[in-house]
Amino acid sequence: MNLNELNQRVSAARAETEARGETFYPGPSRIHLAAFPPKERWDDWVELDSRAWPERRERRYMLVPTTCFNCESACGLLAYVDRESLQVQKFEGNPEHPGSRGRNCAKGPATLNQVTDPDRILYPLKRAGKRGEGKWVRVSWDEALNDIAARIRTAIEEDRHNEVMYHVGRPGEDGFTERILAAWGVDGHNSHTNVCSSSARAGYQYWMGLDRPSPDHANARVILLISSHLETGHYFNPHAQRVIEGKAQGAKLIVFDTRLSNTATHADIFVSPYPGSEAAILLSVANHLIQNGLYNREFVRRWWNWEEYMTVERPELETSFENFERALKELYQSYTFEYAASESGVDARAIEEIARAVSTAGTRFSSHNWRSAAAGNSGGWMVARTLFMLNALLGAVATPGGVFPNAWNKFVPKPIYTPPHPPRWNELTWPREYPLAMNELSFLLPHFLKEGRGKLAVYFTRVYNPVWTNPDGFSWVEVLRDESLIGCFVALTPTWNETSYFADYILPMGHGSERHDLHSYETHDAQWIGFRQPVLRAARERTGVRVSDTRLVNPGEVWEENEFWLELTWRIDPMGDLGIRQFAESLKHAGERLSVDEYYEYIFENSVPGLKERAAEEGLTPLAFMRRYGAFEVKKKVGAVYEEAVPEDELVDTRVDGFGRVYTRAPKPASPNIVPISSPDPDAEGRRLVGVKFDDHIARGFPTPSGRLEFYSRTLADWGWHKESTPTYIKSHVHPDNLSEGQTVLISTFRLPVQIHTRSANAKWLDEIAHTNPLWIHPRHAAELGVKTGELVRVETEIGYFVVRAWVTEGIRPGVVACSHHMGRWKLTEEGQRQLMATVSLDQQGDRWGLKRRKGVAPYESTDPDTTRIWWTDVGVHQNLTFPVHPDPVSGQHCWHQAVRVRRADTGDRYGDIDVDVNLAHEVYRRWLQLARPADTHSPDRTRRPYWLLRPLKPAREYFRLPEEEELVSAD
Amino acid sequence: MELFRALAVLAEPPTEETGRVAEALGLGARPCAEEYAELFVFELYPYASVYVGREGMLGGEAGDRVGGFWRALGQVPPVEADHLSVMLALYARLCELEEEGGNEALRAGWRGARRAFLWEHLLSWLPVYLVKLAEVAPPFYRRWGEVLLKALLAEIEVAGRQESLPLHLREAGGLVDPRAGEGDFWQALLTPARSGMILTRADLRRAGRALGCGVRMGERKFVLKSLAAQNARGTFDWLTEEAAAWEKRHRSFEQTLGAVADAWAAKAKDAGRLLGDLKQEASKVI
Span A714-755, pLDDT tens digits: 999 999 999 999 999 999 999 999 999 999 999 998 888 888
Q: Which of A213, A222, A211 has its CA nearest to residue A363?
A: A222
Q: Which among A6, A26, A33 is the nearest to B25, CB-wise?
A: A6
ipTM: 0.86
Give residue-wise pLDDT tens across range A552-595.
999 999 999 999 999 999 999 999 999 999 999 999 999 999 99
Quick check: B17 and A26 CB within 8 A? yes
Question: Quick check: A714 and A705 in contact, CB under 8 A?
Answer: yes
pLDDT at A340 over 90: yes
- Radius of gyration of chain A from Cα atoms? 28
Tell whether B157 lies on the interface with A, counting CB pairs under 8 A: no
Quick check: B150 and A1 CB within 8 A? no
Quick check: B9 and A6 CB within 8 A? no
Which regions of A19-86 does DSSP assign to beta strands (E)? 45-48, 58-67, 76-82
Tell whether A48 lies on the interface with B, counting CB pairs under 8 A: no
> What number is the average pLDDT over the span A475-492?
98
Query: Is pLDDT larger for residue A36 or for residue A534?
Result: A534
pLDDT at A33 over 90: no
Query: Is pLDDT larger for residue B74 or for residue A487?
Result: A487
- Minimal CA separation from B9 to chain A, in Å: 7
**pLDDT given for residue A27 in this prediction:** 54
How many CB atoms within 10 Å of residue A941? 13
3-class DSSP state for residue A446? helix
Q: Where residue A328 falls among pLDDT bands split at 50, 70, 90?
A: very high
**pLDDT given for residue A111 in this prediction:** 96
Interface with chain A: mutation pick from B1, B4, B21, highest number of A CBs within 10 Å: B21
Burial B232-246 (b: 16+ CB within 10 A, else e): bebbbbbbbebbbeb
Beta-sheet strand order (sheet of A76-82):
A45-48, A58-67, A76-82, A88-93
Q: Where residue A972 falls among pLDDT bands split at 50, 70, 90?
A: very low
What single-letter amino acid sits at A900? V
Omega before A753 within 30 of 0, i.e. cis: no
- Minimal CA separation from B99 to chain A, in Å: 14
Q: Which among B2, B9, B151 is the nearest to A11, CB-wise?
A: B2
Chain CA centroid to CA B119, Å: 13
What single-letter amino acid sits at B137? A
Quick check: A248 and B76 CB within 8 A? yes
| Residue A556 falls in which region: left (phi positive, over 0), alpha (psi -120 to 50) or beta | left
**pLDDT given for residue A227 in this prediction:** 81
A72/A174 Cα distance (integer angstroms): 11
Q: Where residue A30 falls among pLDDT bands split at 50, 70, 90?
A: low
Instruction: Name chain B contacts of A24, Cβ cutoff 8 Å.
Output: 17, 20-21
Instruction: From residue B255, give the alpha-carbon distance in Å to each of A490, A746, A874, B117, B250.
Output: 83, 73, 71, 20, 10
pLDDT at A228 over 80: no
Q: Where residue A31 falls among pLDDT bands split at 50, 70, 90?
A: low
Alpha helices in A607-720 (DSSP H): 611-617, 622-629, 714-718
Tell whether A23 lies on the interface with B, counting CB pairs under 8 A: yes
Quick check: B24 and A13 CB within 8 A? yes
**pLDDT given for residue A268 in this prediction:** 96
- Minimal CA separation from A106 to chain B, in Å: 19
> What number is the average pLDDT over the span A906-922?
97
> Counting Cβ atoms within 10 Å, is residue A666 exposed (0-12), middle (13-18) or buried (19+)?
middle
> What number is the average pLDDT over the span A870-887?
96
Average pLDDT over all residues of chain B: 92
> What number is the average pLDDT over the span B72-92?
89
Interface with chain A: mutation pick from B7, B10, B12, B90, highest number of A CBs within 10 Å: B12
> What number is the average pLDDT over the span A397-406?
97
Tell whether A418 lies on the interface with B, counting CB pairs under 8 A: no
Q: Where residue A376 falls among pLDDT bands split at 50, 70, 90?
A: very high
Quick check: A10 and B25 CB within 8 A? yes
What percentage of chain A has pLDDT greater than the value 90? 87
A849/B149 Cα distance (integer angstroms): 79
Average pLDDT over all residues of chain A: 94
- Radius of gyration of chain B from Cα atoms? 20
Tell whether A549 lies on the interface with B, counting CB pairs under 8 A: no
Give residue-wise pLDDT tens across range A794-843.
999 999 999 999 999 999 999 999 999 889 999 998 878 999 999 999 99
What percentage of chain B has pLDDT greater than the value 90? 77
Quick check: B77 and A13 CB within 8 A? no
B81: nearest CA partner in chain A: A30
pLDDT at A229 over 60: no
**pLDDT given for residue A26 in this prediction:** 66
**pLDDT given for residue A152 in this prediction:** 98
**pLDDT given for residue A34 in this prediction:** 47
Tell whether A19 lies on the interface with B, counting CB pairs under 8 A: no
**DSSP per position, A776-821:** EE-HHHHHHHT--TT-EEEEE-SSEEEEEEEEE-TTB-TTEEE--T
**pLDDT given for residue A141 in this prediction:** 98
Instruction: Name chain B contacts of A12, Cβ cutoff 8 Å.
Output: 24
Question: Quick check: A684 and A333 in contact, CB under 8 A?
Answer: no
Instruction: Name chain A contacts of B17, Cβ cutoff 8 Å.
Output: 23-26, 38
Quick check: B76 and A249 CB within 8 A? yes
What single-letter amino acid sits at B100? E
**pLDDT given for residue A655 in this prediction:** 96
What single-letter amino acid sits at B162? Q
Omega before A273 within 30 of 0, i.e. cis: no
Q: Which among B1, B25, B78 is the nearest to A30, CB-wise?
A: B78
For A169, residues 6+ apart whose C-beta sits below 8 A from its C-beta are A192, A461, A462, A463, A464, A465, A469, A757, A758
**pLDDT given for residue B284 in this prediction:** 73
What single-letter amino acid sits at A494? P
**pLDDT given for residue A969 in this prediction:** 46
